[in-house]
Each structure stands twice: as C-alpha cells, then as structure tokens.
Amino acid sequence: MKAGRKNLKRAVANEDGLTLQDGQSIMRVLSLRGSNLIEVLDTKGEKSLALFPAKFQKSMWIKNGSFVVVDGSGKEKAIESGSKVTCIVTQVLFHEQVRKLQKSPEWPEIFKEDNINGRAHAEAITSQEANQLKSCGDDEEEEDTDDDGLPPLEANTNRVQPPFMDSGSGSDSDS
C-alpha cells in the first residue's frame, strides 16, 4: 500500500469526533457525475458541484445519499470566475460517524427530517421533478406506442438459436 493511502486510512481510523473548521460544512451526495465530480446538497437546500479528490480513489467510495464534509471557502471566487465546481470534498463520513453526528446539535436540520422518513432528500427531489414532468406531459396528449414509429428489430444472427421442441405433437399422435 502506498504511503498516501496508508496515511489516509490511518487518519480516518483515528478520527473519533468531527470538528468542522471555518468554511467547512456537511453536505449530502445527490448524484455522481463522473470524472471525480459529484452533485451535493447543502444545508440551505442548494445544489452545487464538488470535486472528489483523487487521493480518495480506491480507498473510499460514496454513493447517492452519502454524507461528506466539504470545504467551500473559495465558493464565491469560483462562481465569479465562472467555474461550475464550487467546493472540494475533504472527508467522507462513515455510517458510525453519521449516527454520532445525528445525535449532536451540529447536525443540520434539513438532514434530520430526511432520516425520520427513512428516505433520502435526493430521492424526494427527483420524484418531485418526475411528477412535474409527468404533469407537463399530460397536457400535450401524445399517443404512446410501444414502437414509437420505429421498424421492428431484426433477429440477432450472431447467436445460436436453441432447437424448437414441440411437446404436444410428438410420438403420441403417431402411435
């Protein structure tokens, strides 16, 4: 194991309590955008893009609904310069750390109501957006067909077709 990854794991193992420095905040992961970019939701309910540093690769994984500590100290400068990436992930919060933080007064209120329902805020937002799109689609009254005006698919000739066995008209009718 390389020294950087070893030191990173050692720092995570020794971290008992979480203390947020100036400019850091807890955010929830909404979606993974690829290329080390993730979409996060802050405590005000605003979405933004965050950079997931390469030092976390192959040692820490995140998924939708995970919690991370983000350094957003240069957010205003990034927005002024036209950059879409406004913050950098400094720490990934594990399940045990999230449980401890939920009991403390530092835990943001917006994330408390999500945990009561057992449903991630990201899922709630996407379902609301889906309902809005569905309601907009009802007004147009389009005809939905299975083929959408496309020709039928041709059979795949690269695969061997299993032999067809007729079970009803076998040797019983011959005898």
pLDDT at residue 116 greater than cutoff 50: no
Rounded to whole angstroms, how far apart are CA atoms 29 and 38? 7
Note the pLDDT tens digit of each residue in 33-89: 988 999 999 988 999 999 999 888 778 888 999 999 999 888 888 888 888 899 999
Decide yes or no: CATH 2.40.50.140 for domain 3-124: yes
Q: In the 8-state DSSP scheme, what is residue 168?
A: S
Note the pLDDT tens digit of each residue in 122-161: 455 555 555 555 555 554 444 555 667 777 888 777 888 7
pLDDT at residue 32 greater than cutoff 90: yes
Report CA 136 to chain centroid distance, whole Å.
26
Model confidence pTM above 0.85: no
Domain residues of the chain, as ranges?
A: 3-124
Give, in order, the Cα–Cα distances in Å from 127 to each of 111, 122, 130.
Answer: 17, 9, 5
Rounded to whole angstroms, how far apart are CA atoms 63 and 75? 23
Mean pLDDT confidence for 91-115: 83
